[in-house]
Chain A
Amino acid sequence: MNKIKITINNHPVEIKKDTSILDAARQIGVNIPTLCYHKDLCIAGNCRVCLVELAGQKRLSPACATPCEDGMEIFTNSVKVRNSRKHIIELLLSEHNADCTRCYKNGNCELQKLASDYKIMTSDFIPLVPFKHYTIDMFSPSIIKDDSKCIRCQRCVRTCAGLQGVNALTVAYKGDQMKITSFFEKSMNEVNCTNCGQCVIHCPTGALTERNYIEEVWEAITDPTKHVVVQTAPAVRVALGEELGFAVGTRITGKMVAALRSLGFDSVMDTDFTADLTIMEEGTELLSRLKRALVDHDPDVKLPMATSCSPGWIKYIEHMYPDYLGYLSTCKSPQQMFGVLVKTYYAQARNLQPDKIVSVSIMPCTAKKFEANRPEMHASGYRDVDYVLTTRELAIMIKQAGIDFMKLEDAKFDRLMGESTGAGVIFGATGGVMEAALRTAYELVTGRDVPFDNLNILPVRGMEGVREASILIENPLKEWAFLNGVELKCAIVHGLINAKKLMDAIQSGETQYHFIEVMACPGGCLGGGGQPIPTSPEIRRKRAEAIYAEDEGMPLRKSHLNPEVIKIYADFLIKPLGEKSHLLLHTNYTARKRY
């Protein structure tokens, strides 16, 4: 290893060659402020907040974009650095709509924090906001883009390009006219934005935020004529704690249920239940497609079958690969299955009028807001899911209600649609849907457990962008004899940039799979655009560990063993892919224009 010697603020440091000044300083506990820098993204070096002084050089250098060189003497807090940094923050503020008390990001804004840390109390520069004619884009059901809060750090642009490969956002014009916008400055709702919200969790200011429905939900809760049902997605229980004082990766499922109950929801149930149900439907769908391909030699059967849980991925494929919509599983996402069942199955069982039910979901996701808003998601005769809140919005409500979250006693989900298995929980991590499906499908076909230690199908787990796994089917039950010796080939990707790689490979015919899982966000739902801010590879890894720990701690870990799933098939749905399932739990997709 190539080591070099440098000094930071006169402290001698030995460091690996090519380490950036920023990383070197952080390694020895010297903090250099940043704005445009983000661990998930490529280096831009455009905000200049991280400027440092190098001995012998007149110009200051950005710490994030400057690699250490042997003998470098670095000063991170000299008079020159402090003055420049203050001026840079002031200049950023002169173009920024600093109406902080009325901002959704108030208290969780990196620019606000810098202004506070450096005590920016003067305004030496002309405030330019009145001359800028900034616009706010509020047409998307998921994301609000307020240009008056934008500091043009381009984290969102790099996120949309580098993590997602969507490029809905771009840098347009130049100089003082430069702005972050979409194609022809259309609304985000009009272009190829997938609503994944990765830009929202990477934005340092209030320029990109989720569209929040907090007041609407409060109103429903306080309306005595309404019965308000809430469902919680798997990835919420491993991240909500971060907003409420717990360490990253703390599982707070019981406390979350207790908090929801004390917020006033009439029934607190679990999206994991419909995750298990999704496995029953999707697993059966996969087996029926395999049968059509291998036994009936049906030329129209579409393989690989792709998962359909991630609404960001759905919107992406609708824009980018409209010819491949037939490859998607027709299963609705767990959120939408839950929504439709609340206003049918649950309403019947509890003897409630569906129009008096308000169905709320807590999701790690901003795209779920768009999904709930889709015209086809009215299979119950009503809007299936009325309001979608992100993990962050739930945390806000808990704080508003004055609940001491830390001190809550653990509570359990309500019955009927609140029971889940470990297979439902792992939906929250990349590879989870695949693992859950394999656990059930393999057992359905062979009558035995998947041949992996303790049901943990490790090859499908991990944070690698594209992963492959295969499972050999041997000695199946009689009715599945045609699958004997078949090697079931699977691929798992997360982050839409990896989805593009996979889809291009499938399109070119160079790879052949039976089943693919795609999650729009890095790490799967646990890294979703509705999760607590900040995010980083380290944070996502910890949340994933928590998800798998939650799975291991469950008494039941296979979807088909969920007693409430067994019950709903006995009482209501009759069988997977049956008539009622088709009507309520399956959907179709819309080809959209490519931008």
Chain B
Amino acid sequence: MDTSTTLIKNLADQYGRSRNNLLPILQSVVKQEKYLSELSMITIAKELDISASEVYGTATFYSFLEHQKMGRYIIRVCKTITCSMKGKNQILLAIQDMLKIDIGETTPDGTFSLLQTNCLGFCHKAPTMLINNDVYTELTPEKVREVLSGYLAKAKEGENDE
């Protein structure tokens, strides 16, 4: 049994195997593995005796349950109105220019993934982005480059930030 299957079995033991335990299990898998692979979803479905498409439907509904392989650091730039008015597009351009990836893509070395997200609740400090669980506010292109450089350095040193 691979680690992912063992993880899911343990989670099902821990949370229970009824339909309403699906969400905590999905969240825990994402926490451990950054995303939900096809295999994890099929395994979860089998454990809870539901269909894999039901798991897929639930996973795709929630923005923070990724179902594609993600980089070590997931950048989520707020796309809603206030951040847009305060220069979100320039922020995005700065990131894309620096990391050479488009929205929805991951850097070839697997360090960064770039996504957009709905309102993060920091409209008063727009524009905003989230990197994993850390919020960065009142962004400017310079500030973004600085933040990303920090993460790049961390990734190079092989430090574990979690």
Chain A neighbourhood of B50, CB < 8 A: 167
What are 14 pairs between A and B in contact, CB < 8 Å? A166-B51, A167-B53, A169-B53, A170-B56, A171-B57, A173-B61, A181-B53, A182-B53, A183-B53, A184-B38, A192-B51, A593-B42, A594-B46, A595-B52
Chain A residues within 8 Å of B70, by CB: none
Q: How far is the CA of A183 from the CA of B41 in the complex (A)?
A: 9
Chain B, residues 55-88, CB within 8 Å of chain A (1/0): the string is 0110011000001000000000000000000000
* CB–CB B51/A172 < 8 A: no
A174–B61 touching, CB < 8 Å: yes
Kindly state the separation between the CA atoms of A78 and B45 in the bound complex, as whole angstroms: 47
Q: Select one of A170, A191, A594, A595 contacting B57, CB under 8 A.
A: A170
A172 to chain B, nearest CB (A): 4
Q: Across the interface, which residues of A come within 8 angstroms of B45, CB to CB?
A: 594-595
B54 on interface, CB distance cutoff 8 Å? yes
Q: CB-CB < 8 A to A169: which residues of B?
A: 53
Not counting A172-B61, A183-B38, A593-B42, a sample of 20 additional A-B residue pairs whose C-beta atoms are within 8 angstroms of each other reads A166-B51, A167-B50, A167-B51, A167-B53, A167-B54, A169-B53, A170-B53, A170-B57, A172-B56, A172-B57, A172-B60, A173-B61, A174-B61, A182-B53, A183-B41, A183-B53, A184-B38, A191-B52, A594-B46, A595-B53
> Contact at B54–A184, with CB atoms within 8 Å?
no
Mostly, the B contact residues are: helix
Flag if A170 contacts B61 (CB, 8 Å): no
A-B contact count (CB 8 A): 49
Chain A 567-595 interface mask (CB, 8 Å, partner B; 1/0): 00000000000000000000000000111
For B55, the closest partner residue in chain A by CB is A183
Contacts of A174 in B (CB 8 A): 60-61
Cα–Cα distance between A161 and B52 once the two chains are bound (Å): 12
B51: min CB distance to chain A, Å: 3
Check A168 for interface membership: any CB of B closer than 8 A.
Answer: yes
Query: Quick one: given A184-B56, A594-B42, A595-B42, are A168 and B61 in contact (CB under 8 Å)?
Result: no
Take A173-B60, A174-B61, A184-B38 as given contacts and tell me if A168 and B46 are in contact as well, using a CB distance cutoff of 8 Å.
Answer: no
A593 to B41: give the CA distance in the assembly, Å. Answer: 13
Residue contact B61 to A183, C-beta cutoff 8 Å: no
Least Cβ–Cβ distance between A390 and chain B, in angstroms: 25
Interface residues of B in 18-62 (CB under 8 A from A): 38, 41-42, 45-46, 50-54, 56-57, 60-61
Provide the A461-481 mask, 1 if CB < 8 A to any CB of B, else 0: 000000000000000000000
